[in-house]
Amino acid sequence: MDQGTRGELIKQLAEAIASATTAHPLRVAIDGPPAAGKTTLADELAVVLRAEGRDVVRACIDDFLFPRAQRYRRGQYSAEGCYFDAHDRGALCRVLLDPLGPGGDRRIRTSVYDRDADAPLSPPVRAVAVDAVLLFDGVFLLRPELIDRWELRVFVSVPFEQTVERARRRGTVQAEAAAEAGAAGAAAEIERSWRDRYIPAQQLYSATARPTDHADIIVHNDRPQRPSWEVRTR
């Protein structure tokens, strides 16, 4: 296991991307539990890659959600609902991952859903270069339905208790209902959402899909400015 500064981690990831050879855009999954630091890591990596002249596509699983009624049909705090019902993986493959894969036309869309409006989106199609890099962050990316659609798989690992504290500290409300509860109820809503929905869903994911077994790089992000990481050899 390697340990170093944040910059050294980003350099390691950028080098892993540069060394990957494909005949189509490189599809990079940045997986991990909520509040692990996936989006921040992907954004920092995108800055470095763009400075090197790469065409970078940034996208997130939160733009491929099913409508609220479907996401919560098993109940607001259902872990099974979080894992099985939340994300439109069919649309993700159809409009983004498959067009970037072998034989794809490289004409993509990076979202299909507006979470704030709880409504579908249909943004313009965008064409990307053959040497483009997709940096896609989100939860449950290394599940069986998606595992073969990534050329590089990164898993960001943080103890579950720390993700709860991070969510509470930064005031991010992952469950839409928390926005309706008002400021006084926000902290309790975050706590319950994590304890009853998000953490059990991650435990279900770990038990059934074993994501760390499939990761090429595991980033231990409990200390973001002094992370450690493992590079797997396959």
Note the pLDDT of residue 191. Answer: 87
Note the pLDDT of residue 177. Answer: 45
Mean pLDDT of 222-226: 94
Quick one: which H or E segment has residue 120?
Answer: strand 119-120
Closest CA to 13 of 24, 33, 28, 35: 28
Euclidean distance between CA atoms 89 and 87, whole angstroms: 6
Q: Which CATH class is domain 2-220?
A: alpha beta
Note the pLDDT of residue 178. Answer: 46
Domain boundaries, the chain: 2-220
pTM above 0.85, yes or no: yes
Q: Render pLDDT for 88-98 as a digit per residue (tens, 0 to 9).
A: 999 999 999 99
In the structure encoding, which two tokens stand for residue 137, read together? 């962050």
Closest CA to 63 of 38, 40, 87, 35: 87
Q: Calculate helix-pair angle for 183-192, 160-170, nearest 10 degrees.
A: 170
